[in-house]
Structure 1
């Protein structure tokens, strides 16, 4: 499970990061609106924990961005505001929970776990193609496809961002835990495995290469004028 923490109070940010990491969560952190937007754009999160008031923006607006991108991602707003009207406003904006500062970490953890238990489906369905990230399983027209590990994660990430061109750097940052320790050619290897193990046997095309820009998920309709194999 991956969580994004957005909190400009550095001590609290680090405390939350360390605490959630200790409980086995993968955690990214941001201290402002701009950095949070960057993470939300390149990665898929199970839950976003954001402060309401940020130095350069509003956590409520971030909540709307997250929900527009993926309705299944839970959003928890934390805030020093303690009035009923603020809690109602946060929940009506799309937040799944509202927690007032200061709070007990154990209670916060329990509420995060509760939200994650009731999250929506993570399955991606596009025509005859079904990608199930939770079970690391792919089906095409009812037939299961053997694609695991990083190639599976690359395909899943591109499918989730199928309206975008995703660069090699963005893929590395989104999927590899320490992207600085690997070379960009690992992306080419993963893409090649997708094409060899899935596209060719099924006679379909799932990923197009956009010269000098990156990759785009193209199933079921490939843009032939921009596609280079």
Structure 2
């Protein structure tokens, strides 16, 4: 599970990042609304923690822009604002929850869990050609037959199918699937892609998982 924290106070951002990583979440941090918007639109996250009073693009404006672009990632506001009008404005903009500062980490953690449980309750299925991936059941099928994958193979296929039609760059795949954020030999992706294609028994005519030489991979019909 990956969470994006959009918070301009360095101390709060570090506190949340450390605490959430200790709970097993992958965490990215953005310090401005514009940077957070780019990250939220540029890669998949399971949840966004957004400060209301961000420099430049505010948290409220960020939320509205995300929802206008059909990005429905669960979003929780962190804010010192405490009026009913502010709360209503945040929820009307598309926020899923609202945590007032100062807050206890345990409260943040439980509210995150509630949102992730709610999201997981709605089955997500992605497909390309005869390949179907069921996120909730952690199952993959081809032509109706279940294909058993390792956890990493499943995560790699899920990432490609979530971005079907988009060229997924090797560095982004390493960051999102392997959670590696430093210079690293991306050749491991090729090994897993070969194994994935073999398990899915893709023939030469079934070019659903294509290699874009020198760049990365793309799932397309």
- State the SS of the aligned residue for 1:180: coil
- Where structure 1 has 5 or more consecutive residues not aligned to the other structure, the ranges are 222-229
Aligned to 1:195, which of 194, 197, 206? 197
2-structure distance, mates of 1:167, 1:144: 28
TM-score where L is the length of structure 1:
0.82
TM-score where L is the length of structure 2:
0.84
- Note the C-alpha offset of 1:98: 1.4
Instruction: Tell me if structure 2 keeps the 8 A contact 1:199–1:205.
Output: no
Instruction: Find the counterpart in structure 2 of residue 86 from structure 1.
Output: 86
Instruction: Find the counterpart in structure 2 of residue 101 from structure 1.
Output: 101
CA RMSD in angstroms, aligned pairs only: 2.5
Q: Matches of residues 31-110 of structure 1 in structure 2 within 5 Å?
A: 31-64=31-64, 66-67=66-67, 68=69, 70-71=71-72, 73-110=73-110
Indicate the larger mover: 162-171 or 28-37: 28-37
- Note the C-alpha offset of 1:134: 4.6
- Where structure 2 has 5 or more consecutive residues not aligned to the other structure, the ranges are none
Instruction: Find the counterpart in structure 2 of residue 125 from structure 1.
Output: 126
- Note the C-alpha offset of 1:97: 0.5
Aligned to 2:175, which of 173, 177, 184? 173
- Note the C-alpha offset of 1:101: 1.8
- 178 and 75 in structure 1: CA distance in 2 versus 1, 3 angstrom threshold: same
1-structure distance, mates of 2:194, 2:85: 53
Q: Matches of residues 147-162 of structure 1 in structure 2 within 5 Å?
A: 147-162=149-164
Indicate the larger mover: 7-16 or 185-194: 185-194
| 1:213 pairs with 2:215 | yes
2-structure distance, mates of 1:203, 1:173: 30
| 1:142 pairs with 2:119 | no
- Cα deviation, 1:177-228, whole Å, max 9, x if unaligned, reads 224363121122222222222142696332122344322111xx2xxxxxxx
- 142 and 184 in structure 1: CA distance in 2 versus 1, 3 angstrom threshold: same
2-structure distance, mates of 1:194, 1:111: 36
2-structure distance, mates of 1:154, 1:10: 32
Instruction: Tell me if structure 1 keeps the 8 A contact 2:7–2:31.
Output: yes
User: Aligned pair count?
Assistant: 218
- 38 and 186 in structure 1: CA distance in 2 versus 1, 3 angstrom threshold: farther
